[in-house]
Structure 1
Amino acid sequence: MNLKQKNTLLPFIIMLVMFSLGCLVTVNQLNKLKTEMISKPMENSMAVLLKSVEFTAQQVLEKSSLFSRLPQVIEAFELAHSGDIDDPLSPQSQQARQMLRRDLKEALDGYETLTGSGKMKLHFHLPNGRSLVRMWRKQQIKLNGKWEDRSDDISDFRQTVLDVNATGKPVKGIELGRGGFVIRGLSPVVNTNGKPLGSVEVLFDFAPLVKTLFAHDHYLVRLYMNKSFLSITHRLQDNEKYPLVDDRYVQVMGNQNQISSKGTFLSLLDQGQNGFIARLDGKKAMAAFPIKDYKSKQVGVMTLETDTSYESALIRNIIVFQVVMLFVILFVMGGVCSLFLSRTVLQPVAGIMRVSKKLSHGDLRDEIGVVSTDEMGHLSKTMNFMIQAVREMVGKIIEVVTRLTANSQEINTALQNQVASASEQSASVTEITSTMAEFSASSQQIAEHANRVLTIAEEALAHANEGERSVSLVGDKMEEIYTDNTQTVKGVHELGNKTREISKIMGIINNIADQTKLIAFNAALEASSAGEAGKRFGVVAVEIRRLAENVEASTRETEKRITEIQDAVDHMMLASEKNTGCINEGLSFTSHTRDTLVNIVEKSQDTRDAAQQITLSTQQQKTASEQVVQALKEIDDSGRQTTRAITQIGENGEVLNQLASQLQVLVKDFKL
């Protein structure tokens, strides 16, 4: 597909897309307009109905208020209160009913005659939720087919009556009664003292109001009540007259047979409970909205239905007209755009294609003619600048290719020389690596021997230290023995001194014993000379002499033992002095041995330190040798890689020479 075809197709596609979007937007907006045009009148009708209900409720409230303060009404209520108001057949209540019918008859007849709207539905209630009188009836209620006049109880379904009498305030609005929807207005009845007596109510049926409002409209109106209120609305319990809808709603007004789709209609009723809802169903439009009682509680739903054939036809004609006009406008715009693009784009593009075809064959001598100042003109100028730049670039390329060819040949020669040098260097590095590997192995053996020497030196040092500690311990023990021996010698000397002192004392004791014997002998002489009187004294003297002799004998024995002890002490002193000499000699030998061992320990430490230094040096030498070997291997690898790289560069140089030759051939095709 060429550019001309694309130029025709693109506006057509754009026109088609715009036409489709325009149709969609037009149809959507017109449908919205149709919905708004149909639903707005229905919504207005709903508002009118609600306003009418509110207005009618206000009117009936005003009417009821007219009767709430009438003297006749107050008198009748007070009469009823004079009896039992909880009694449905109370005579006082019956009299009050008769009084109200009599006193208000003329006013109610006048209302009926003048308005022509029938009897006013005026209803009076007692405060306990009982009906006092319904003024539009001759009698109150019908029981068992017979009318009776009694105060019937309405409190079970008439909440408005209870509210008015409980609060004393008027009430107005819709409330469900026995007959269905009713608009009510209730006013409290009080006497002049303000005492609550009951309430008065004016009723207006909801159905006539609806029929009156929609009498001249084209709407089909239906009114539905929630089934839950069917227990209140007794008159709506006839299913034939007031049919049930899905067992949820009771149709109060309208024709059930005219409903086309019950499912759609039920959905509309359900949504209408919450607020206004409008819906289009083919050629019909339906709307629903809630009906609320006086407390704004939803009690029913009203629907409006109308035929939309006219509106649908009108909208359809408008859609057709706008679609046709849109198509014509877009078709004309597409043709104008296509023609404009042909003149402003296709012709300059043809010139560019002509020059580009020459460029593809290497002809750089032609340029594009510039005929406009728009984007195509700028494109033509840019193409001319590009041609000039390519022309200059090709000229420089030719010059560079010539220089590149010469330089690549020189590089190739230099690379061949480097390959030879790298090969020789690699061989030398390999030989050095082998030598260093042998040197590293020798360093390994030296390191192992040095480690063994270090181990032996450390063991010798450990044994020397152990011997030094043992000799030091022996020396300490010898010194303790020397000290103990010295103490023993001192003790022996002291023992000798003590024995000599004892010998002196024993000599003194012997002298005392000799003197005692002499004294005892003299005493015996004196006792014998005294005769009988000195006999006892002579016995004492004998005993004293015997004691002195015993003491002398004991002293001699003691001296003998002391002599033996002194001999033993002397022997011990000689032995102690000899032991002291031996101990001194042992201390001297121990001190000399300890000094020798200390010297051995110091030498062993020096030996160990030297062995450690040798081991460290050999380890460093081994490590250095390994590093040198590793470095040489890396140098060898680098040399091999360099050789391979240079070889690769040489091969690339050959390729570069070939490419340069090919480039020379290519640039020859350009025409500058």
Structure 2
Amino acid sequence: MHIRKIRTKLLLPVFVVLILVSILGVWALNGGVSALVADQLTTTQNIMNRALEENTAAKVQDINGNIQRMGNKALEQAVVLSNIPGVLEAYQLAHQGDLDVESDLFSQQARENLRQIFNPVMERYKTVTGVKELKLHFHLPTGRSLARLWRDGWQTKRDGKKIDVSDDLRDFRRTVVEINQGLHGPLKGIEVGRGGFAIRGVTAIADAQGNHLGSAEILLPFNALIEISKTSDAQNYAVYMNADLLPIATKLQDSVKFPVLDGRYVLCATTGSAQTGAVASSSLLDLGSRGLVSQQIDNAYVSVFPINDYSGKQAGVLLMLQDVSQTLASLKGIQTTGEQSINTMKRDALLGALFLLVLIGSIVFVVTSSFTTPLQQAVAVTTAIAKGDLSQRLQIDRNDEMGDLSKALNSMSDSLAENVTLAQAIADGDLTVKVHLASDHDEFGGALQHMVTELGGLVNEVSEASSQIVSGSAQVSDVSQSLSQGATEQAASMEEITSSMAQIESQTKQSAENTNVALTLSRDAIHSAEEGNSNMSDMVGAMGEINAAGQGISKIIKVIDEIAFQTNLLALNAAVEAARAGQHGKGFAVVAEEVRNLAARSAKAAQETASLIEGSVVKAKNGTKIAERTSSSLQEIMTSITKMSDLVSEISTSANEQSEGISQVNIGLSQIDTVTQQNTASAEECAAAAEELSSQAEQLRGMLAQFKVESRGIAPASQRVSPSAPVQIGW
């Protein structure tokens, strides 16, 4: 887009700068406040995360401490209760029987004795502590159960029935096996039993002599641990056991009550199944099985860490969930407040920038109006001048640059009007007008002055040139007429030469044919001589035939000699005609000279052949007289005939070459004839063009007479232009 208005050019940069400054200011303000809000949010988030991490670490430490304390408590209770009077006597009674038999009567009696001893103790414990039951369990040294005192008259269930026997614990109770078979040291901590996780304290029982009699343990429920760990409604816990321990924890094999997560973790207990189930996953529990891991999932801060049994082996995972929705809502409130503050500052900044934009725009508008109005008037006048209207003038009476501009434009209009008058006179043909320059830098006036001078000189020169064109065209017409006449005569001569060359060509062909006949005859003579040499008896007849053949050859040689003479004459005539043709006949003269040479050679060969034939005839006449020398004579005859055959062959070759040369001469003559005819047509066209040029030159002189020029002492045409003299063409 091209901007034309000066006011727009002034206002647009101001507006653009103001808009850019406003945008940059709002952007900087927005960035600063946004950074401040983001920094506040980050700080608050970090504080919250740090608090959650510290709380989580403290909670994990507290839970592990509770497990340790509960294990110590269970062990202490087991030690105290195993030393109650009557316990040692019951074990001694059981040892009187077979400890590997689950229904041994001594063991059964010992179990009854223990129940009688501890029933009052158990009731008293429940009353004082408020605990529903105290799980006290006595074991035999063989790894069997002696008495589960929290059960009323039975030990275990089989096929849904309660039975009171010493059931075997060795398949799933490692603590029982270890304390009864090892060093009999006390054990405490978590162990998986039929009901899942339990915190146990196990102690050995021995008599006064130190003989090992069995063991006793106290079981504390693991669920009690998570109950006491939950200190607010925002907290929830879930206990997961490794699924590979389900064969031991048979009471947890109901997947409806105790769901299995991806076949790897069994949910043993939870304080909020909906909350913990929404965030629990096998991948998260896998991470927790290796150590403490914390993550924020939606509005919950979730931590998982391993549950280790009494031996330190990982047996499950404890999931802790802290609801942080209120903290997140506080962070959201801080963010919302910051965004509202940013929006308010943006609005105020934009309003301020808009007010500043309007104020500065108004000032610039008022200032530019003082000079844009005169400029618009000046543009209107210059536009009118550009369209050819030189009557417009500016009416601006001011003492500043606008007034000077008005005077300069009016002066320019007056000067242009004066130059228009001069141009009109020049257009009417008056080249005598005087052009006055407004100053040394008046290029337009100088151009008009130069145009008048150059046009006057040009008209005079064109007038002189037209006169010379008339004269020259007349000369060209005369030369063209002469050229046409000469070309016509040349064409006639070429026709005669062509006719003569046709005759020569016919005679040459005839000579070649006769030479071929002579060559055939000479070959026959050689054959006859050979036969004569082998047939001495027919010698006379053969000699007669040779004589007759020699006479025939003599006649042919005479004919060849005559043809060579005539060819020589024709070649001489052709050379004369070629000399008359001048430059165009040079090639033809060469051909004619070659034909003469061939004719001379033919004549010479004919003379030689005639001499030989005459000798043959003489020898033939004397053949009968020198019969005794017939053989040698025949050899001489054969030699002569061979030479004659060679000469005849040369004559034939020369005749053929002569025929080809004459054909080339005919082609050259044909081309010369074509060129001659073209020259005749061109000469006629040139004459017509010269006449037309003369007529147009006369019209040009008439048109130039319309111009009025001053006498400038122009040199005559004969002095300024020197055309070449007419060319004289002769034949």
The TM-score normalised by the length of structure 2 is 0.47
Measured after TM superposition, the shift of residue 183 of structure 1 is 1.6
Q: 1:32, CA displacement in angstroms?
A: 6.1
* TM-superposed deviation, 1:60: 0.9
Letter of the structure 2 residue corresponding to residue 325 of structure 1: L
Q: Is the 8 A contact 1:433 1:629 kept in 2?
A: yes
**What is the deviation of 1:205?**
1.6
CA–CA distance in 2 between the matches of 1:663 and 1:68? Answer: 133
Q: Give secondary structure in 2 for the equivalent of 1:443.
A: helix
Which one of the candidate residues 596, 620, 623 is aligned to 2:671? Answer: 623
What are the Cα deviations for residues 20-59 of structure 1, in whole angstroms up to 9, with x where unaligned?
A: 7578768876886798689767756764675334641453
Query: SS of the residue aligned with 2:418?
Result: coil
Q: Contact 2:34–2:342 at 8 Å: present in 1 too?
A: no
Q: Which residue of 1 aligns with 2:325?
A: 207
Q: Which amino acid aligns with 2:406?
A: A
Deviations 1:609-637 (A, max 9, x none): 45554554454444345434434544554
What is the rounded CA distance, in whole Å, between the counterparts of 2:700 and 2:175 in structure 1?
135
Corresponding residue for 1:11?
6
In structure 2, the partner of 1:171 is: 293
Give the aligned residue type for 2:486: I
Match of 2:482 among 428, 438, 453: 428
Q: CA deviation at 1:435?
A: 1.2
CA positional deviation for 1:411: 2.4
Contact 1:125 1:161 in 2 (8 A): no
What is the aligned length? 438
Q: Does 1:322 align with 2:347?
A: no
User: Which secondary structure state, in structure 1, belongs to the residue aligned with residue 220 of structure 2?
Assistant: helix
- Structure 2 matches for 1:536-547, cutoff 5 A? none
In structure 2, the residue corresponding to 1:151 is in which secondary structure? Answer: strand
Q: How far does residue 64 in structure 1 lie from its aligned partner after superposition? A: 0.6
- Code of the residue aligned with 2:296 in structure 1: it is I
In 2, Cα distance between equivalents of 1:605 and 1:468: 16
CA contact (8 A) 1:185 1:201 kept: yes
Confirm or deny that 1:407 pairs with 2:454: no
Shift of 1:425: 1.3
Cα distance change on mapping 1:346 and 1:586 into 2, 3 Å: same
In the TM superposition, residue 424 of structure 1 has moved relative to its aligned partner by: 1.2
Over aligned residue pairs, what C-alpha RMSD do you find?
5.6
Q: Show CA shifts across 1:75-110 (max 9, x none).
A: 7999987489776625956998736577899xx58x
Distance 1:634 1:66 in 2: 130
Aligned counterpart, 1:335: 366
Return the alpha-carbon distance in structure 2 between the equivalents of residues 171 and 86 of structure 1.
24
- Pick aligned residue for 2:64 from 46, 61, 68: 68
Q: Which residue of 2 aligns with 1:159?
A: 282
Shift of 1:194: 4.9
Give the distance between the partners of 2:419 and 2:281, measured in 1 at CA.
108
Alignment of 1:500-579 (within 5 A): none
Q: Do 2:301 and 2:323's aligned partners in 1 also have CA atoms closer than 8 Å?
A: yes
Following superposition, the deviation at residue 590 of structure 1 comes to 5.7
1:181-192 equivalence runs, <5 A: 181-190=299-308
Q: CA deviation at 1:384?
A: 4.5
Counterparts in 2 of 1:651 and 1:89: CA distance versus 1, 3 Å? same
1:98 and 1:662, CA in 2 relative to 1: closer, same or farther beyond 3 A? farther
Q: CA deviation at 1:583?
A: 6.9
Superposed CA offset, 1:431-456 (max 9, x none): 11211222232233233333323332
Cα distance change, pair 331–97 in 1 and its aligned pair in 2 (3 A)? farther
Mapping for residues 467-486 of structure 1, pairs under 5 Å? 467-479=521-533
Given that 1:218 and 1:306 are in contact with CA atoms closer than 8 Å, whether structure 2 keeps it comes out as yes
**Conserved in 1, the CA contact under 8 Å of 2:463 and 2:704?**
no
| CA separation of 1:617 and 1:409: change in aligned 2, threshold 3 A | same
Deviation per CA, 1:293-327: give whole Å up to 9, x if none. xxxxxxxxxxxx9995x866764554344334323
Partner secondary structure for residue 63 of structure 1: helix
Alpha carbons of 1:28 and 1:641: their partners in 2 closer, same or farther (altered >3 Å)?
Answer: farther
Verify the 8 A CA contact 2:294 2:304 in the aligned structure 1: yes
Write out per-residue CA displacement over residues 181-223 of structure 1, whole angstroms, 9 at most, x where no aligned residue: 5323333355796543544554312324334545x6585xxxx
CA deviation string 1:578-600 (max 9, x = no partner)? 99877777666666555555544
Amino acid at match of 2:367: V
Using the alignment, how far apart are the partners of 1:651 and 1:431 within structure 2?
A: 30
Amino acid paired to 1:456: Q
- The answer to whether residue 418 in structure 2 is matched with residue 362 in structure 1 is yes
Shift of 1:420: 1.7
The structural deviation recorded for 1:427 is 1.3
Distance 2:445 2:680 in 1: 55
1:561 paired residue number: none
- Paired AA for residue 386 in structure 1: H
Q: Contact 1:188–1:198 (CA<8 Å) still a contact in 2?
A: yes
Measure how far apart 1:417 and its partner are.
1.5
- The range that moved more, 122-131 or 347-356, is 122-131
State the identity %.
9
Distance of aligned partners of 1:173 and 1:397 in 2 relative to their CA distance in 1, 3 Å threshold? closer
CA distance in structure 2 between the partners assigned to 1:618 and 1:100 by the alignment? 138
Per-residue CA deviation, residues 629-653 of structure 1 (Å, 9 max, x unaligned), is 4345445545554554565455445
Partner of 1:59: 55
Q: CA 1:609 to 1:656, structure 2 compared with 1: closer, same or farther past 3 Å?
A: same
In structure 2, do the counterparts of structure 1 residues 591 and 333 end up closer, same or farther at CA, with 3 Å as the change threshold?
A: same
Matched position secondary structure for 1:322:
helix
| CA contact 2:302–2:321 (8 Å) conserved in 1 | yes
Residue of 471, 478, 491 corresponding to 1:437: 491
2:191 is equivalent to residue 89 of structure 1: no
| Cα contact 1:68–1:199 (8 A) shared by 2 | no
Taking the aligned partners of 2:641 and 2:419, their CA distance within structure 1 comes to: 114
The 2-side partners of 1:65 and 1:321 are apart by: 59
* Aligned residues of 2:294 and 2:301 also touching (Cα < 8 A): yes
Instruction: Work out whether residues 7 and 368 of structure 2, in 8 Å CA contact, stay in contact via their aligned partners in 1.
Output: no
CA deviation map 1:473-513 (0-9, x unaligned): 4444544657999xxxxxxxxxxxxxxxxxxxxxxxxxxxx
Q: Which runs of 5+ in 1 are unaligned?
A: 1-6, 132-140, 145-149, 220-304, 366-381, 486-577, 665-672
**Partner SS state of residue 386, structure 1:** coil
- Once the two structures are TM-superposed, the CA of residue 353 in structure 1 deviates from its matched residue by 2.6
Gap change, CA 1:118 and 1:594, over 3 Å in 2: closer
Residues 43-442 of structure 1 mapped to structure 2, 5 A cutoff: 47=42, 50-51=45-46, 52-53=48-49, 55-68=51-64, 71-72=68-69, 82=175, 89-90=195-196, 98=220, 112=231, 121=236, 125-128=240-243, 151=268, 157-159=280-282, 162-164=285-287, 166=289, 168-174=290-296, 181-190=299-308, 194-211=312-329, 213-214=331-332, 217=334, 219=336, 315-316=346-347, 318-339=349-370, 342=374, 346-362=402-418, 384-387=439-442, 389-442=443-496
State the alpha-carbon separation in 2 of the partners of residues 96 and 661 from structure 1.
147
Distance 1:324 1:104, change over 3 A: closer
1:440/1:626 contact within 8 Å kept? no
Q: Using a 3 Å threshold, how does the CA distance of structure 1 residues 437 and 620 change in structure 2: closer, same or farther?
A: same
Higher deviation after alignment, 622-631 or 24-33: 24-33
Equivalent residue runs for 1:17-36 within 5 Å:
none
- C-alpha distance in 1 between matches for 2:537 and 2:33: 140
Most deviating of 48-57 and 423-432: 48-57
| Unaligned segments of structure 2, at least 5 residues | 76-171, 177-189, 201-216, 247-254, 259-266, 375-398, 422-436, 540-625, 713-731
| Shift in alpha-carbon separation, 1:90–1:18, aligned structure 2, 3 A | closer
Aligned partners of 2:198 and 2:221 also within 8 Å? no
Shift of the 101–314 alpha-carbon distance from structure 1 to 2, 3 Å rule, reads closer
Give SS of 1:186's match: strand
Aligned with 2:5: secondary structure?
A: helix
- For residue 353 of structure 1, what is the amino acid of its counterpart? L
- Say if 1:187 and 1:201, in contact at 8 Å, map to a contact too: yes
